[in-house]
Amino acid sequence: MQQELNYKHLYYFWVAAKEGGMSHAASRLGMAVQTVSAQVRLLERSLGYSLFKPAGRGLELTDAGQAALQVAEQIFQLGQRLHSVVREASSPAHLRLVVGISDGLSKLAVRDLLAPVLSDPRLRLLCHEDAFDDLVADLALHRLDVVLSDRPAPANPNLRLYSHALGGSDMGWYAPAVWLAQAREHFPHNLATLPVLLPTSNSSVRFRIDQWLERRGVQPHVVGEFEDSALLATFGAGGMGVFPASERMREKLSQGYGLSWFAPCEGVREHFFAIGTERKVQHPLLRHLLQAAQGPD
């Protein structure tokens, strides 16, 4: 007689497979490595097949493990949706949207990107900011509905993630009043002497800005680097220096921060993506968000 499946054992296997090993799974679950390993061994015993095999100093899935992972994906994707489905059925007036905000994404752009759904009276929005890789892991574990990022999902056969383009924006240079006159003279070579603020390397657009500067033979006088674009704009508005930022934020930077656009950053573009676990998006608010992004950029 076939032994009944223990879903707790399957869950520990699923997390270990997604996290790339027992120690990572234990860290994610807040448990001892020995506990996770023991639960996976019990699952293997009940199935009659090994699910992991040694690979260098770590583990990789066997063919049986790959097959088990595909089934576990379907089971726990449905399981992760259970609470929200029941809650939404009981409270039809509310629609929960859990969004991960990548630390490399311009925070000034986040509200703009979410604008198509913010007026929906059913919306209950939860936003979490974290490192890109951590958010992708949480998304794969269905702790998030979507991740907003400045880069697409990484190619990984073990993670079924889909990147949906939300458009982009050209970059321009901005200055506070104290530096505006000097910023307009002998640009861009004056960036070698003017104080310059830049996004950190966590932002994918930083690489393109560095290339832009290098092509023009400019070694900028960098006085500050910021992960948060709103913080960068705040220091810029306080007179710390000039900086590049999204053209689509020009009005916000002018009215909200008293900053002036003074030059384009030709050829440098910031891109925006919504990363999800479904090729065909089911969440109604996400569908609306993506449909709005398909309009003129």
Instruction: For the chain, give the mean pLDDT.
Output: 89
- Looking at domain 78-167+273-293, its CATH architecture is 3-Layer(aba) Sandwich (3.40)
Per-residue model confidence as pLDDT tens digits over 11-30: 999 999 988 889 998 888 88
Per-residue model confidence as pLDDT tens digits over 128-177: 999 898 998 888 888 899 999 999 988 876 778 889 999 999 999 999 99
Q: Cβ neighbours of residue 66 under 8 Å, at least 6 residues apart?
A: none
Rg (CA), the chain: 24
* Residues facing 275 on adjacent strands: 147, 163
d(C-alpha 145, C-alpha 284), whole Å: 11
Specify burial of residue 36 (Cβ count, 10 A radius: 0-12, 13-18, 19+).
Answer: buried
Per-residue model confidence as pLDDT tens digits over 220-255: 999 999 988 889 999 999 999 999 999 999 999 999
* DSSP annotation string for 44-101: HHHHTS--EEEETTEEEE-HHHHHHHHHHHHHHHHHHHHHHHHHHHH-TT-EEEEEEE
Q: Cβ neighbours of residue 228 under 8 Å, at least 6 residues apart?
A: 107
What pLDDT was estimated at residue 89? 58
Query: CATH 3.40.190.10 occupies which residues in the chain?
Result: 78-167+273-293, 168-269
Query: CATH 1.10.10.10 occupies which residues in the chain?
Result: 7-76
User: In terms of pTM, does the model score above 0.75?
Assistant: no
| 275, 132 Cβ separation under 8 angstroms | no
CATH value of 7-76 in 1.20.120.1770, 3.40.50.450, 1.10.10.10, 3.20.20.120 = 1.10.10.10
Give the confidence band of 297 by pLDDT, cuts at 50, 70, 90.
Answer: very low
CATH value of 168-269 in 3.40.190.10, 2.60.40.1510, 3.40.50.1110, 3.90.226.10 = 3.40.190.10
d(C-alpha 62, C-alpha 64), whole Å: 5
Alpha helices in 151-228 (DSSP H): 177-184, 204-215
| 108, 117 Cβ separation under 8 angstroms | no
Q: In this predicted model, which residue has the larger pLDDT, 86 or 218? A: 218
| 101, 145 Cβ separation under 8 angstroms | no
